[in-house]
Amino acid sequence: MKKVIYVFIFVLLISVGTTNFARAAQTPAQVFESYYKAVKAGNFESMISYLASKLQEKAKQVPQEQKSKFVQFQEKLLPSTYTIGKTDINGNYATVHLKGKVVHPRTGEERSFGRVYLLKESGAWKIFKFNWKKNESDFKK
C-alpha cells in the first residue's frame, strides 16, 4: 500500500512539474495564443494566468458575478481571426506582431494591426499590454 501511495505522489509531482515547465517554456507568441484560447473559451482564471502580475491583481478584484462580462469585454478587444507575424525579444521584454481585424467596441473603427507586449516574470512570458492600429505604419518604430 505504501508503494502505491509513493508512486501516486511521484506521478503527481512529475505532472505538476511538467505543466509548470511547459507554461514557463512557452514563447511570447504561444502565450498570446493560449490567452486567446482562454478568452474564447470564457475561462476567466486561465485568461488572467497569462497576464502580468499587476494586471492579475486588478483582475482578481473583479467580483464573481462580473467575471463573465469581463471576459466578454476582453473578447471584443481581440480579432475573430489573426495571424502572427514576427516576434521581437529584447531581454525580458517581447513584442508579438499580429494581423487581424478588430472593431473597436466604443468607436466602431476597424483596426487591422496589433501588438502584444509581454515581459518575463519568474521565467515565464506574461502579457502586459495590447495595442491595435488601423495601419501598421501607425506604430512608432
Q: Assign 104 to helix, strand or coil.
A: coil
> What is the band of 5 on the pLDDT scale with cuts at 50, 70, 90?
very low
What ranges do the domains of the chain cover?
Answer: 2-138
The pLDDT confidence band at residue 1, using thresholds 50, 70 and 90, is low
User: How is domain 2-138 classified at the CATH fold level?
Assistant: Nuclear Transport Factor 2; Chain: A, (3.10.450)
Give the pLDDT band (50/70/90) at residue 57.
Answer: very high
Dihedral in degrees, nearest 10, Cα atoms 32, 34, 37, 41 = -130
CA distance readout (Å), 94 to 45, 115, 116, 129, 132: 23, 10, 8, 11, 16
125-140 pLDDT tens trace: 999 999 989 888 988 7
Work out the average pLDDT over 95-124. Answer: 90
Whole-model pTM: value is 0.78
Q: How far apart are CA 57 and CA 55, in angstroms?
A: 5
